[in-house]
Amino acid sequence: MTEIFAPAHLVLSLPLAVGAIAGGWEGLGWGALVAALCGGIPFGVIVAGVRSGRFGDRHIGDRAQRPWFIGVTVVLVSGTLVLLLMVGAPRVTIACVAVMLATLIVTGSITLWWKISFHTAVAAGSVVVVAWLLPPVPVYVVGAALVGAIAWSRARLGDHTPAQVAAGVAAGGTAAVLVLAAML
pLDDT tens, position by position, 136-159: 999 999 999 999 999 999 999 999
Q: Where in the chain are the domains?
A: 7-183
What pLDDT, on the 0 to 100 scale, is given for residue 63? 87
Mean pLDDT (the chain) is 97
Mean per-residue pLDDT for 113-128? 97
pTM: 0.94
Radius of gyration, alpha carbons of the chain: 15
Could you read off the pLDDT of 20-44 as tens digits, one per residue? 999 999 999 999 999 999 999 999 9
Which residues, at least 6 apart from 109, have a Cβ–Cβ distance to it below 8 Å?
A: none
Could you read off the pLDDT of 160-172 as tens digits, one per residue? 999 999 999 999 9
Alpha helix stretches (DSSP H) within the chain: 7-34, 41-52, 66-87, 91-111, 118-133, 136-156, 162-183
* For helices 162-183 and 136-156, angle between their N-to-C axes, nearest 10 degrees: 150
Mean per-residue pLDDT for 55-63? 91
Torsion on CA atoms 155, 173, 112, 41, rounded to nearest 10: 90
- 61 pLDDT more than 90: no
How far, in Å, CA of 108 to CA of 2, rounded? 19
3 state SS of 73: helix
| CA-wise closest residue to 77 among 57, 49, 106 | 106
Q: Amino acid identity, residue 96?
A: C
| CA-wise closest residue to 60 among 69, 72, 73, 48 | 69
Which residues, at least 6 apart from 179, have a Cβ–Cβ distance to it below 8 Å?
A: 95, 98, 99, 102
What pLDDT, on the 0 to 100 scale, is given for residue 109? 96
Could you read off the pLDDT of 5-23 as tens digits, one per residue? 999 999 999 999 999 999 9
